[in-house]
Amino acid sequence: MRYKIKTGTIVAGGWSLCIIIGLSLIMVDSESNFLCWGPSDVQFAGFKVNTWMRWAVVMIYSILSQVSYSVISSTISPYISNVIRDHKTPIEEKGTLIQAQSIVFVYTLYSWLTSILDVFLWITLQVQYIIPALLTDLLLTIYFTNSYMKPLPVQLLE
């Protein structure tokens, strides 16, 4: 069965556009602080983000968390799945047991810590912290996709 790439892309793009337009129309006249920018009474991990310093810390976390997620999901995550956990990969290509355990340990620790803090970020219900993360993810996805689409050097193909 062939992938239905065109259909999936059209549906994903169309639905994303509908969501953006719909949220924009709803939020224009809303009295909600959903689209506010800067410090407010919103809470992140139990403290109020009511100063520019606290706002900057949460914003930096939002951006750097997404940078790390994008890099890790394009590098370490596939390596764990396609090399370390793949029974077809020869054992000598997996590295030492300590290397493999270290990679999986750090990946698991990272996943838990960011998952916990990301929950706090999401429950702020503030688009101001999500938009920079979204833009960061889009840019890094373009970068990594471009690197995967480059032809392999001739010596690697032999």
pLDDT tens track for 24-51: 777 666 666 666 778 888 888 888 989 9
pTM of the model: 0.70
Q: What region, left, alpha or beta, does residue 130 occupy, with left being phi > 0 and alpha being psi -120 to 50 degrees?
A: alpha
Lowest-pLDDT choice from 8-12, 29-33, 104-108, 123-127: 29-33
Question: What is the CB neighbour count within 10 angstroms for residue 129?
Answer: 21
The Cα 37–Cα 4 span in angstroms is: 40
| Mean pLDDT of the chain, nearest integer | 85
- Report the pLDDT averaged over residues 15-25: 85
When pLDDT is cut at 50, 70 and 90, the band that residue 73 belongs to is confident
- Report the pLDDT averaged over residues 73-92: 88
Written as six digits, the tokens of 66 are 């997404």
Lowest-pLDDT choice from 16-20, 51-55, 103-107: 16-20
Half-sphere exposure at residue 62, Cβ-oriented, CA atoms within 13 angstroms: 22
- Report the pLDDT averaged over residues 70-75: 86
- Sign, Cα dihedral of 109, 142, 16, 7: negative
Residue 10 has pLDDT above 70, yes or no: yes
When pLDDT is cut at 50, 70 and 90, the band that residue 116 belongs to is very high
Written as six digits, the tokens of 140 are 């890094």
CA distances from 26 to 32, 55, 122 (A): 10, 25, 20
Residue 77 has pLDDT above 70, yes or no: yes
**Domain ranges across the chain:** 1-31, 33-151
